[in-house]
Amino acid sequence: MTDETPSDSKLTRTKEKWAREGRFLTGKITRPEDQRLPPGQHLTKDWPVLDLGVVPPISRERWRLDVYGAVETPVFWTFDEFIAQKQARFTSDIHCVTTWSRYDNEWEGLATRDLLAACQPREDARFVVLHSYDGYTTNLALEDFAAEDALLAHSWFGQPLTEEHGGPVRLVVPHLYFWKSAKWLQAIEFLTEDAPGFWEVRGYHNRGDPWAEQRYSGD
Ligand SMILES: Nc1nc2c(c(=O)[nH]1)N[C@H]1C(S)=C(S)[C@@H](COP(=O)(O)O)O[C@H]1N2
Ligand SMILES: [Mo]
């Protein structure tokens, strides 16, 4: 361990600099139907690890999920309670803002739509903030969180998510850049007002649509 805090690490400072410089922007805009690979992305077969450099040691036994805020029914689950929910299997592509994409990832977990059915967001709920065990946060509009292929994933290709990729449970929101897909998920907070997260307050786009190249806040 170094004494650098995650928000002051070299990677964080480098990515903040890219945001200021508008790195990796091609200016092209395409739609998913036209082009599977979003503009400015290249394909990779391996699965790079990107995070703040601190892997929180959370076993399945110690893991808890808290769902609260603007909901009718707050949810507090252990891993056993979480995995007893209806299981979804989705195959989707990953698009990271640092320009790598990885096709055809097989995820298993709880569809965000089924989570919404369990916690019942209030009429006035518009946004969610994901809170992670490493202190990371990221925000999503409720409709993006509720995308039909978004899920709280515990497995990848039939194997438990590894620690480095966000196990026991991470979010996967395939239609947005991967920084929206919080690893080591701890809590989901429903809000009536938006609340930008870790990268969103450091120059990254509030929504992050890869096909519109919404990399940085000015895009
Ligand atoms: N908790 C947490 N989730 C996170 C991050 C992080 O630092 N902490 N980094 C995000 C970023 S920038 C990316 S690109 C992906 C990387 O996921 P991977 O390491 O599984 O490829 O996780 C996202 N989710
Ligand atoms: Mo990223």
| Whether pLDDT at 29 is above 60 | no
Pick the CATH number of 37-46+64-212 from 3.30.750.24, 3.20.20.120, 3.90.420.10, 3.90.45.10: 3.90.420.10
Say if CB 110 and CB 152 are below 8 A apart: yes
Query: Which tops the pLDDT comparison, 192 or 11?
Result: 192
Query: Of the residues 47, 50, 139, which should be mutated to test ligand 1's pocket, given the most ligand atoms within 8 Å of the CB?
Result: 50
Q: What is the pTM of this model?
A: 0.91
Cβ of 200 below 6 Å from ligand 1 = no
Tens digits of per-residue pLDDT, 196-209? Answer: 999 999 999 999 99
| Whether pLDDT at 32 is above 80 | no
pLDDT at 6: 66
Q: What is the mean pLDDT of residues 156-182?
A: 98
Say if CB 58 and CB 84 are below 8 A apart: no
Q: What is the mean pLDDT of residues 52-57?
A: 94
Query: Of the residues 49, 63, 139, 183, which should be mutated to test ligand 1's pocket, given the most ligand atoms within 8 Å of the CB?
Result: 183
Residue 218's pLDDT band, with cuts at 50, 70 and 90, is confident
Kindly report the protein residue whose alpha carbon is nearest to atom 19 of ligand 1.
49
| Whether pLDDT at 66 is above 80 | yes
pLDDT at 160: 98
Q: From the CA of 135, give the closest atom in ligand 1.
A: 1
pLDDT at 22: 82
CA of 122 relative to ligand 1 center, distance in Å: 29
Q: What is the 3-state secondary structure (H, E, C) of the chain?
A: CCCCCHHHCHHHHHHHHHHHHCCCCCCCCCCCCCCCCCCCCEECCCCCCCCCCCCCCCCCCCCEEEEEECECCCEEEEHHHHHCCCCEEEEEEEECCCCEEEEEEEEEEEEHHHHHHHHCECCCCCEEEEEECCCCEEEEEHHHHCCCCCEEEEEECCEECCHHHCCCCEEECCCCCHHHCCCCEEEEEEECCCCCCCCHHHCECCCCCHHHCCCECCC
CA of 132 relative to ligand 2 center, distance in Å: 15
| Whether pLDDT at 27 is above 90 | no
Q: What is the mean pLDDT of residues 154-183?
A: 98
Candidate from 9-13, 135-139, 167-171, 192-196 with smallest mean pLDDT: 9-13
Cβ of 208 below 6 Å from ligand 1 = no
pLDDT at 148: 96
| Whether pLDDT at 74 is above 70 | yes
Contacts of 179 (CB under 8 A, 6+ apart): 96, 97, 138, 199, 204, 208
CA of 123 relative to ligand 1 center, distance in Å: 30
Q: What is the mean pLDDT of residues 180-186?
A: 98
Please state, rounded to an integer, the average pLDDT across all residues of the chain. Answer: 93
CA of 28 relative to ligand 2 center, distance in Å: 20
Candidate from 19-23, 42-46, 97-101, 189-193 with smallest mean pLDDT: 19-23
pLDDT at 4: 53
Residue 1's pLDDT band, with cuts at 50, 70 and 90, is very low
Kindly report the protein residue whose alpha carbon is nearest to atom 20 of ligand 1.
165
Cβ of 93 below 6 Å from ligand 1 = no
Ligand nearest to the CA of 50: 1
